[in-house]
Structure 1
Amino acid sequence: MKFGKELAAQMVPEWQAAYMDYSSLKNFLKEIHALKQKSRQADAPTSLQQALTLYRGFSGLIQRQNQRATSFDDHDIENQAILVDSMQGNGSGKYVTTFLMAAEEGAEYEHEFFRMLDSELSKVDKFYRSKVKEVVAEAEILTKQMDAFIAFRIKAEKVEKKFDVSSDKMIPTNAVQGGRAGSNKHNDAKQSNDSLQEIDHEDNPKNPAACIRLASQEVLNRVRLNRDIQVPFPAAKVNCVSMNKQTQMNFTKGNLTKIQKQLKQAFIEYYYKLRLLKNYSFLNVLAFSKIMKKYDKITSRRAAKHYMRTVDDSYIGSADEVTKLMERVEATFIKHFSNSNRSKGMNNLRPKSKKERHIISFCTGFFVGCTAALTLALILIIHARDILNKEGRAQYMESMFPLYSLFGFVVLHMLVYTGNLYLWRRCRINYTFIFGFKQGTGLGFREVLLFSFGLATLALTSVISNLDMEMDPKTGDYKALTELLPLALVMLVMILLLCPFNILYRSSRFFLLTTLFHCICAPLYKVRFQDFFLADQLTSEVQAFRSLEYYICHYGWGDYKLRQNTCKSNDVFNTFYFIIAAIPYWSRLLQCVRRFYDEKDPMQGYNGLKYFLTIVAVCTRTAYGLDRGDSWKTLAWTFSAMAAIFGTYWDLVIDWGLLQRKSRNRWLRNKLLVPYKSVYFAAMVLNVLLRFAWLQTVLNFHLSLHRETLTAIVASLEIIRRGIWNFFRLENEHLNNVGKFRAFKSVPLPFNYDEDEDRSD
């Protein structure tokens, strides 16, 4: 792989603009190379020069090192092409390279090349300096958190004080539970922030770690537990504020476990930042080395050595704060969060690379083949038995089709999400960071595709087994086993989703269930991106939720053996038909209310108004579908048009960031990840058309399709629209993170210091 592609593959997506622009410099060198070839004289006496070298004086087979170095340096000085001036001392943070071969032909191009190179070096050096400053400041915060954590641990574990801590006397090691100091006596001498400090070896020469001093517990007088993270709204938060400090500092083992878990996650995320910074420094220094080698090769100069000496002396090439911090974090994490087990600690700190398994590809191909074969078999069976013209067709569509359409909606949404994952990966959109997936646990498009076609295979098998239209002439009913297949399949999916065992990607299932719980309990929890993103997905699955309602009615109050029920004429069913349709939009509305309360952003209020209009539009369309009155038709028209226009504007302008008149890409936005602008315009047109798919339910188009089929088609179009929305919504979110160089998630810390509160006030 060429270095340019390797650099693009390894760079942090949110920091892409802060990396050295290797491709532009490489293209500029190609122009210089073309110019050199054109200006090269064809009559250069190369053969004569080669012959004259045969008569040069012989310098001997053995040369002394100092003589060779001296002659080499003199030769360099005579042929030096550049002079690099660093302005770091006066605080400007810039580098200026003077090209000394100004008299040569094409020198202005090489001068421009070094101007670009200096600009890139200043850019990466300034960015790296700012990020190192941030991690150093964060290291101080984590140090204070560790001081409070260790003091809290002493209180919670009730460590006996056999001697006064303020004195220089010693206490036995067995006074500390777990014997942490004894098991890590060699590392204690290197760790300056450890709570269990070693004493002078002269007091106990045989076992210098046998006696320790407890960490100071005075820090607990200046801190309190941070309970503002994921606090229910609003009553619990008020109660939390009204609690005094003594009540909050409850020294229990449960609180100690929570604090340790929070700090452990904070250290893992912090170590990840350090790794990215170290990789950033390495890649940029390597990029400068590669580009200077190309320059020397094209121009036949020896400038790389002089320029790389400047790069090595710069902050990005010489600073070692990140390396030292990584060593300190490793030592601290292994000691306090891994019970001095280095292997376990490093496995937690290092990012877990996800392995691509061949079994996933094999099973996906198997289920794709099964889905295609079953679909073909279903078509042939319908044609061979002439099922579409049988008397039981209407009854089947009314009673059985809503049961199986649920799986169609779910499979279609999963396939759309699979396409989103693939495109996000191709466009280098950091969706794992945006969604907050743990490293190495997020599902890729292959895994989601496997589950999609696996569910499709099971659903099609159930449909074919249940396709018999003929009733038993003696009993007048259908086979109970085949009639229960849809319910059994739903129960199987629910069991697999809720399975507590560590199978079938338990971490991803738990993440989904947790996010779903936050959507249901809105506005009791602070809204994160994955919360409202999932809630938006649920708003496109209204018909799927209605199908679940139909399951309860069909198997609970209907005669499923006769494929008969009175669901559509039941007042309770029709009432919940409204409620089920409004629940996803209501959850999204409450999330907007919570975000408006937390962020004080008026845009969240307008967004909530959009979902309120959508709730009214859905309810009026549902009422018109049940009543068919002119008054309901007028209301459905009015509110549906308002909701569709409002929603379309919000999608294109707010969620996608498009339709910007003064952008570099007219009517789009300044930064685009898809190279073809026509894709954006086509997506906008499709979004408008699919937003108005509700017109079918109001205008009553006379199509030769059953009502259930038409409803399923409209619901499928909404799912496809949501898939298109997903890609551009995440692209816009990614670009916002890129604009702010936001590549790390903020991890809540367990303690609040009094001085931090005073500073914030």
Structure 2
Amino acid sequence: MKFGKEFASQTVPEWLEAYMNYEYLKTLLEEILVIRRRQQTSTPENNNNNSRVPQRPSFKRKVSLFRAFSGLTNSTASRRHKEDEVIIVSEVKQRDEEHGASECQTNYQTVFLRSSEEGGDLESQFFRRLDHEFNKVINFYKSKVDEAVKEAKELNVQMDTLVALRIKVNNPSMEVISEQHQDHNKMASLDVLNRVKINATTETPRSTVRNVFNSLNVDLNYNKNELKNAQGKLKQAFLEFHEKLRLLKNYVFQNQMAFSKIMKKYDKITSRNASETYLEMVDESYLNQSDEVAKLIERVEASFIKHFCNGDRQRGMNTLRPKYKREKHRVTFFLGCFFGCSVALVAAIIVSIHTRDLLEGEGKTKYMNTIFPLYSLFGFLVLHMLMYAGNVYFWTRYRVNYSFIFGFKQGTDLRFKQVLLLTFGLSVLVLAAILANLEMEMDPETQSYKTYTELLPLGLVTVVFLLAICPFNILYRSNRFFFLVCLWHCICAPLYLVTLPDFFLADQFTSQVQLLRNVEFYACYYGWGDFKARDASTCNDSNVYKIISILVAVIPYWIRVLQCIRRLCEGRDSTQAMNGLKYLSTIAAVVTRTIYTQRRGTTMKIIAASTSGVATIFSTYWDIVMDWGLLCRNSENPWLRDKLILPSRSIYFIAIVLNVILRLAWMQTVLDFHEAPFLHRNALIAIVASLEIIRRGIWNFFRLENEHLNNVGKFRAVKSVPLPFSYEDEDKDL
């Protein structure tokens, strides 16, 4: 692999703009190379008439050789060295306007001594840009080191408080805890607890309700629950801080390698010897001489091992070290097997239906009204998982750090092949159940077991549900647990702090309204319907069922309204109020459309069309402008945004058009397309629901791309973990 690609793959995505722009510098060198080759091809032509006149480079080399063997003194040799110099690098002190006039920052400036030669202007431009990149790297690194030092001081105070709290809670009779400090031991002081409050958590609905009436910071009660929560938060803070230090260390190494490679490439192209001078400056700069990060890493590791791993270094380092996932061959193997089985099962189902005319006459109507909704639930789920697998593939390809954005534990995020494995595994299970259902229905020997035939979809739902909540460490338990936690947060909204995974999942459910209605149909069909006779009239003709169907469709949007209210109250962000109004308009549209499909009437049709039109305009604007960050008139990319990840701008415009078109799928309701004779009503509903799932899959990519670019703009590469303790006074050097 070429260094340019390797360098790009090793960069921290959120810090990309802070790295040396290797590709741009390489393009400048390529232009210099073109000029050099042009000189080489033109020189023989100019010297055809006077071949005895030596070329200028050859004359310089002869003089250099003569002086090398002439036995001159050291002073003359020094003068010769100065004559061969290509660049001079110097330090320039400049005032730092951001931190006040009293502070100065050091910038490096390179003077190119051969600018009068042909092509010298381009080489001067190369060194000016090289200086710009180096100063950018130095200043960014200094700012991050300063942040790290401040965070280390804060963690040190927090750790002292935790140690004191451990002593207070455990209350050992003969326990002595000492801390190594300035070459002598000191006793852990309990006085720190007199000026400390514990930051109240909002991790449970009960604590949220309690915090409405109390302050965010509460007095310590010195109980084990407080100790456990504080220790968990501080441990996570140490892990994130260590990750940040590790990224900084890698940042220095990668940039040093980049400067070394680009200078050696310059020497090779120009036949000069400038890399030695420039790289000597790089070695003597803050980038190489600073050892704060290395010392902080050692201290963090020592403190973490001592206080969180009982001195077990191996266990501590295993926890601190980054966990990388390796591609397993069995994932690819089983993915291929499940995909092949899915294709074979689909072909078998089609052949079985066609040869036996199963969907003709009265049997077709019964099947489409009962069995089709039962199995289409899994079709919606499989389609959504396919879209998510596509999202993961393109997020990975274009280096969108979805694992960090969602907050997955390190090494637990699913790659697109693993998502596809689950998707096709589920499809094999569903398709096998459908084929078995068809075969059992047509086989004379199984006619007496018709009840068990009808219970097959319910059994399939039960199996999938049990696999989802299985407590054993199989089928990606950490991911299943993460999903269930986010689902619980959505159900309990607004009693939990709203994070991106929570509202992202709630948005997915707004595109799975038909799936939720199918779940309602399951409950009614097997609870109150006559499933033995394959009769769903008890459900479809019930007014109570129709009312519940409206409520079920409203639930996902109402959850989002509650989440917007929670975020508005916490962040005082006015855009969340507008976002909540958007979901309220969608609720009005969903309710009126559902009532129109049940009761009809011209007035209801006008109301449904009006509310749906308003909701569509509102939601489309929000998708494109707020969630995707597009349609910026004065951006570098007209009507898009300044920073784009995808290589072609046309893809963004295509996505905008598709989003608008797919959002208009509701028009089939008010235009009565569901009464088309060539397509059953439930089949049309399934197609429209599938289009909404596809729209949501497209939305997912650009929504996370925009979130990633926001993190890039703030250079946010690690999670900010809330610390467990706060202090009554500002002086924390206890």
Please give the TM-score of this superposition, normalised by the length of structure 2: 0.92
CA distance in 2, matches of 1:656, 1:71: 66
Match 1:679 to one of 651, 669, 689: 651
Distance 1:649 1:692 in 2: 14
Q: For 1:420-499, list aligned pairs within 5 A.
A: 420-467=391-438, 479-499=450-470
The match for 2:100 is: none
Please tell me whether the aligned partners of residues 478 and 562 of structure 1 are also in contact (alpha carbons under 8 angstroms): no
Aligned equivalents of 2:109 and 2:21: distance in 1? Answer: 18
2:359–2:367 Cα contact (<8 Å) kept: no
Consecutive unaligned residues in structure 1, runs of 5 or more: 161-173, 182-187, 200-212
CA distance in 1, matches of 2:247, 2:216: 41
State whether residues 519 and 535 of structure 1, in contact with CA within 8 Å, keep that contact through their aligned partners in structure 2: yes
Q: Provide the secondary structure at the position in 2 that maps to 1:96.
A: strand
Q: How does 1:579-618 map to 2 (within 5 A)?
A: 579-618=551-590
Change (3 A) 1:558 1:58: closer
C-alpha change, 1:542 and 1:677, in structure 2 (3 Å) is: same
Which of these residues, 209, 219, 222, is aligned with residue 192 of structure 2? 219
CA displacement, residues 704-723 of structure 1 (integer Å, 9 cap, x when unaligned) = 10010000000000000000
Q: Once structures 1 and 2 are overlaid, which stretch shifts more, 73-82 or 6-15?
A: 73-82
Deviation sequence 1:140-177 (CA, Å, 0-9, x none): 110110010011011011033xxxxxxxxxxxxx534x
How far residue 558 of structure 1 moved from its aligned partner, in angstroms, is 1.8
Is 2:203 aligned against 1:230? yes
Could you list the runs of 5+ residues in structure 2 that have no partner in the other structure? 96-103
Q: What's the counterpart of residue 23 of structure 1?
A: 23
- Cα distance between partner residues in 2 of 1:148 and 1:673: 44
Structure 2 residue identity aligned to 1:97: T
C-alpha separation in 2, matches of 1:518 and 1:441: 20
Question: Residue 125 of structure 1: SS of its match in structure 2?
Answer: helix
Q: Residues of 2 paired with 1:719 and 1:238: CA distance?
A: 38
Shift of 1:470: 5.7
Alpha-carbon separation, structure 2, partners of 1:239 and 1:442:
38
Q: What displacement does 1:634 show?
A: 1.9
Pairs within 5 Å for 1:513-552: 513-552=484-523
Query: Which residue does the alignment assign to 2:372?
Result: 401
User: Hey, what does 1:750 align to over in structure 2?
Assistant: 724
Matches within 5 A, 1:647-662: 647-662=619-634
State the Cα RMSD in Å: 2.7
Aligned residue identity for 1:365: G
Q: Tell me whether 1:307 sits opposite 2:307 in the alignment.
A: no
Read off the aligned partner of 1:751 and give its amino acid letter.
F
Find the aligned partners of 1:10 and 1:51 in 2 and give their Cα distance.
Answer: 41
Name the counterpart of 1:209: none
Once residues 734 and 261 of structure 1 are traced to their aligned partners in structure 2, the CA distance between those partners, rounded to angstroms, is 27
Distance 1:476 1:304, change over 3 A: closer
Q: CA deviation at 1:78?
A: 2.9
SS in 1 for 2:665: coil
Decide whether the 8 Å contact of 1:18 with 1:123 is kept in 2: yes
Preserved contact between residue 88 and residue 112 of structure 2 (Cα < 8 Å): yes
**Structure 2 CA distance for aligned equivalents of residues 288 and 428 of structure 1:** 23
Q: How does 1:266-285 map to 2 (within 5 A)?
A: 266-285=237-256
Instruction: Report the alpha carbon displacement of residue 699 of structure 1 after superposing the two structures with TM.
Output: 0.6
Shift in alpha-carbon separation, 1:475–1:415, aligned structure 2, 3 A: closer
Please identify, of 560-569 and 274-283, the stretch whose mean Cα deviation from structure 2 is larger: 560-569
Q: 1:221 corresponds to which letter in structure 2?
A: N
Distance 1:242 1:282 in 2: 42
Aligned partner of 1:111 in structure 2 is 124
Residue type of the alignment partner of 1:727: F
Is 1:621 matched with 2:621?
no
User: How far did residue 198 of structure 1 move?
Assistant: 6.3
| Structure 1 residues 336 and 51, CA gap change in structure 2 (3 angstroms) | closer
Q: CA deviation at 1:72?
A: 8.2
- Indicate yes or no: 2:222 matched with 1:251: yes
Inter-partner Cα distance in structure 1 for 2:139 and 2:434: 63
Residue 480 of structure 1: CA displacement?
Answer: 2.4
Change (3 A) 1:257 1:694: same
**Quick check: 469-478 or 378-387, which moved more?**
469-478
> Is it true that 1:708 corresponds to 2:682 in the alignment?
yes
Deviates more, 1:225-234 or 1:4-13: 225-234
Q: How does 1:119-134 map to 2 (within 5 A)?
A: 119-134=132-147
Aligned residue for 2:723, secondary structure, equals coil
The amino acid of 2:279's aligned partner reads M
Residue 475 (structure 1) shift: 11
When structure 1 is superposed on structure 2, of 384-393 and 289-298 the one drifting more is: 384-393
Report the CA distance between 1:387 and its aligned residue.
2.0
Matches for 1:161-172 after TM superposition, within 5 Å:
none
Cα 1:438–1:471 change in 2 (3 A) is closer
Residues 1:276 and 1:390: Cα distance change in structure 2 (over 3 Å): same
Distance 1:70 1:485, change over 3 A: farther
- Output the TM-score relative to the length of structure 1: 0.89
Cα distance in 1, alignment partners of residues 379 and 320 from structure 2: 41
2:709 matches 1:696:
no
- Write the distance in 1 (CA, Å) between the matches of 2:76 and 2:194: 68
2:175 alignment partner in structure 1: 175
Equivalent of 2:181 in 188, 192, 196: 192
Give per-residue Cα distances to partners, 1:422-475, cap 9 Å, x unaligned: 011111111111111111011111111001001111111111111259689999
Aligned partner of 2:98 in structure 1 is: none
Q: Quick one: structure 1 residues 582 and 52, their matched pair in 2 at CA, closer, same or farther if it must change by over 3 Å? A: closer
Query: Highest relative contact order (Cα 8 Å, sep 6+), 1 or 2?
Result: 2
Question: Which of 81, 87, 91 is the equivalent residue of 2:92?
Answer: 87
Q: How many residues align?
A: 710
Residue in structure 2 matched with residue 168 of structure 1 by the alignment: none
Contact 2:200–2:216 (8 Å) recurs in 1: no
Partner of 2:301: 330
Is the 8 Å Cα contact of residues 632 and 639 (structure 2) preserved in structure 1? Answer: yes
What is the CA–CA distance in structure 1 between the aligned matches of 2:242 and 2:281, rounded to whole Å? 29
Q: Distance in 1 between matches of 2:60 and 2:127?
A: 32
Q: Which AA in structure 1 matches 2:690? A: S
1: CA distance, partners of 2:603 / 2:64: 105
Between the aligned partners of 2:713 and 2:446, the Cα distance in structure 1 is: 70
2:61 & 2:105 partners in 1: Cα distance?
A: 52
626-635 or 524-533: which moved more?
626-635
Contact 2:440 2:453 in 1 (8 A): no
Contact in 1 for aligned 2:169/2:223 (Cα 8 Å): yes
Change (3 A) 1:579 1:85: same
Please tell me the residue identity of whatever aligns with 1:489: L
1:185 paired residue number: none
Q: Aligned partners of 1:87 and 1:404: how far apart in 2?
A: 72
Of the structure 1 ranges 561-570 and 354-363, higher mean CA displacement relative to structure 2 is found in 561-570
Give CA deviations for 1:466-492 in whole Å, capped at 9, x if unaligned.
125968999987622222111111111
Query: What is aligned with 1:509?
Result: 480
Cα shift at 1:22: 0.4
Matched residue SS, 2:497? coil
How far, CA to CA, are the matches of 1:305 and 1:242 in structure 2? 58
| CA–CA separation in structure 1 for the residues paired with 2:282 and 2:709 | 30
For 2:347, the aligned partner's letter is: L
Partner of 1:732: 706
CA distance in 1, matches of 2:397, 2:74: 50
Give the residue type in structure 1 aligned to 2:691. L
Per the alignment, residue 356 of structure 1 pairs with: 327
